[in-house]
């Protein structure tokens, strides 16, 4: 097995220069972290998400075996298995946003991938807790612009109810128009970057109308609405059956529990990377410290993955670097309800019967530190030998990409 894997890695390294001649992109802009903006404090109308209800299983027989429906009661009882260093916070606190931006900058995260649930004016465009993050994202972008933070924003297009190709088209038009002039966006070859969560929920044919070059009314390629689009790879055949026919420029895996999907198992990454290279797609593997949603999905024990004092996270990073990833996504900066956060957590004595895990024996910054070190290592790997291997703005042989040869190149990423 080991031999087979290293043979694959060698093939990958040989094959990658085919993607070469790309311009450089600063190492920090190759590390992207999924960022959630859905938290509030009572002064904004309640403890949204911190007070998340316990979810019931979709199968009534299983649902009956677990308590569900009750809400957590912050600040003592949070929906998270960990307690944040900053306490349960509001995503719209200016000081909080600035702290997050600073922390990302210091620890090698150049890009926050903002969870976005559609424009604020569309009915039904919100998450399960009825939060719409449109205005909040606006604020994060404003803070980046005002503080001159080097952190850049990519979009995580979330599957709000009723998402279809018409809505997605409208979303792209809206975001393009709104942030056209903003320096705060990550741009690769001049195009903003979109991660598409649960992309499988639309048939590939619908994505193709948006993302494969065509003369239809929904096509965004070669228009100002164009972007670098990353679909979600879950199952073994998602490359051929989803990513390719949909016209995505690349893919990510999101889950950092090897229980959840084929794509989340690092043993499969060499094959996925080989596929990506062959098809000229960008593979942005997702790495994460563990997974624990026991408080909100008590029946989901099978998906839980312990952190092992950073061991799991290091393993994911090693796998991402091992397959020669040109960019890495981190699940997550602050998804506290699923216990995937790298944001600092502190030990906390049980109060009102609510208990918490912590990063002990390590410091609250363990996961930020591993991120910083790994981000550095990724930069070094790319600088030595892997230099310019990936032009990030892929799409070559299916000629989807606009301006891959343009002088804008990936140089435009820092854009400051």
Ligand X SMILES: *[C@@H]1O[C@H](CO)[C@@H](O)[C@H](O)[C@H]1NC(C)=O
Residues lying near ligand X in the complex (CB under 6 A) are found at 366, 369-370, 373
Cβ proximity to ligand X: between 105 and 377 the closer is 377
Whether 199 and 156 have beta carbons less than 8 Å apart is answered as: no
Q: Is 411 exposed, middle or buried (0-12, 13-18, 19+ CB in 10 A)?
A: middle
Q: Which residues contact 224 (CB under 8 A, 6 or more apart)?
A: 176, 180
Cβ proximity to ligand X: between 208 and 370 the closer is 370
Q: Report the chain's terminal Cα–Cα distance, integer Å.
A: 46
Provide, rounded to whole angstroms, the least separation between the CB of residue 374 and ligand X: 9
CA distances from 416 to 105, 108, 145, 183, 206 (A): 15, 18, 10, 7, 36
Cβ proximity to ligand X: between 370 and 413 the closer is 370
Provide, rounded to whole angstroms, the least separation between the CB of residue 336 and ligand X: 21
Cβ proximity to ligand X: between 182 and 373 the closer is 373
Cβ proximity to ligand X: between 40 and 375 the closer is 375
Pairs from 20-23 (Cβ < 8 Å, separation ≥ 24): 20/388, 20/389, 20/390, 20/391, 21/388, 21/391, 22/388, 22/389, 22/390, 22/391, 22/392, 22/393, 22/409, 22/410, 23/388, 23/391, 23/409, 23/410, 23/411
Cβ proximity to ligand X: between 151 and 366 the closer is 366
H or E, element range at 96: helix 94-106
Provide, rounded to whole angstroms, the least separation between the CB of residue 103 and ligand X: 15
Q: In sequence order, what DSSP letters do the residues of 381-398 get, joined into one string?
A: HHHTT-TT---S---GGG
Cβ proximity to ligand X: between 141 and 366 the closer is 366
Provide, rounded to whole angstroms, the least separation between the CB of residue 372 and ligand X: 7
Cβ proximity to ligand X: between 273 and 312 the closer is 312
Cβ proximity to ligand X: between 370 and 381 the closer is 370
Q: Which residues contact 209 (CB under 8 A, 6 or more apart)?
A: 165, 216, 218, 219
Provide, rounded to whole angstroms, the least separation between the CB of residue 366 and ligand X: 6
Provide, rounded to whole angstroms, the least separation between the CB of residue 373 and ligand X: 4
Sign of the dihedral defined by the CA atoms of residues 6, 11, 12, 13, in that order: positive
Provide, rounded to whole angstroms, the least separation between the CB of residue 325 and ligand X: 19
Partners of 157 in the beta sheet? 116, 196
Cβ proximity to ligand X: between 119 and 344 the closer is 344
Whether 210 and 247 have beta carbons less than 8 Å apart is answered as: yes
Q: Residue 184 and residue 76: Cα distance in Å, rounded?
A: 36
Provide, rounded to whole angstroms, the least separation between the CB of residue 378 and ligand X: 13
- Only one residue has tokens 């228009």, namely 223
Provide, rounded to whole angstroms, the least separation between the CB of residue 97 and ligand X: 26
Q: Residue 126 and residue 114: Cα distance in Å, rounded?
A: 14
Whether 352 and 74 have beta carbons less than 8 Å apart is answered as: no
Provide, rounded to whole angstroms, the least separation between the CB of residue 301 and ligand X: 28
- Only one residue has tokens 């790997």, namely 381
Q: Residue 5 and residue 265: Cα distance in Å, rounded?
A: 13
């Amino acid at each position: 097995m080991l031999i087979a894997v290293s043979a694959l890695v060698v093939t990958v390294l040989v094959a990658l220069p085919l993607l070469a001649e790309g311009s450089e992109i600063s190492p920090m802009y190759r590390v992207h972290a999924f960022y959630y903006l859905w938290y509030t404090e009572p002064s904004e109308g309640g403890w949204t998400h911190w007070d998340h209800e316990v979810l019931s299983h979709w199968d009534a027989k299983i649902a009956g075996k677990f308590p569900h429906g009750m809400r957590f009661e912050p600040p003592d009882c949070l929906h998270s298995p960990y307690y944040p260093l900053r306490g349960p916070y509001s995503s719209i606190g200016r000081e909080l946003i600035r702290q997050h931006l600073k922390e990302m900058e210091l620890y090698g995260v150049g890009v926050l991938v903002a969870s976005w649930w559609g424009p604020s004016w569309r009915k039904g465009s919100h998450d399960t807790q009825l939060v719409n993050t449109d205005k909040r994202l606006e604020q994060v972008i404003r803070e980046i612009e005002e503080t001159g933070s080097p952190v850049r924003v990519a979009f995580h297009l979330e599957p709000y109810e009723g998402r279809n190709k018409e809505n997605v088209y409208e979303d792209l038009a809206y975001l393009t128009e709104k942030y056209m002039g903003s320096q705060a966006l990550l741009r690769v070859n001049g195009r903003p970057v979109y991660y598409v969560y649960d992309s499988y929920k639309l048939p590939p044919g619908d994505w193709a109308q948006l993302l494969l070059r065509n003369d239809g009314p929904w096509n965004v390629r070669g228009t100002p609405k164009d972007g670098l689009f990353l679909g979600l790879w879950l199952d073994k055949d998602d490359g051929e059956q989803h990513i390719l026919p949909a016209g995505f420029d690349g893919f990510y895996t999101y889950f950092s529990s090897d229980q959840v999907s084929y794509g989340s198992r690092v043993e499969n990454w060499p094959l996925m990377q080989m596929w990506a290279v062959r098809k000229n797609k960008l593979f942005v593997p997702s790495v994460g410290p563990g997974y624990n949603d026991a408080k909100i999905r008590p029946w989901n024990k099978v998906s839980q993955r312990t952190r092992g004092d950073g061991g799991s996270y290091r393993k994911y990073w090693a796998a991402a670097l091992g397959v020669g990833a040109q960019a890495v996504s981190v699940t997550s900066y602050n998804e506290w309800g699923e216990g995937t956060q790298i944001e600092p957590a502190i030990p906390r004595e049980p109060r009102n019967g609510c208990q918490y895990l912590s990063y002990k024996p390590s410091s609250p910054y363990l996961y930020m530190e591993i991120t910083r070190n790994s981000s550095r290592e990724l930069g070094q790997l790319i600088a030595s030998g892997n230099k310019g291997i990936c032009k990030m703005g892929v799409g070559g042989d299916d000629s989807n990409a606009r301006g891959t040869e343009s002088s804008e190149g990936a140089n435009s990423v820092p854009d400051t």
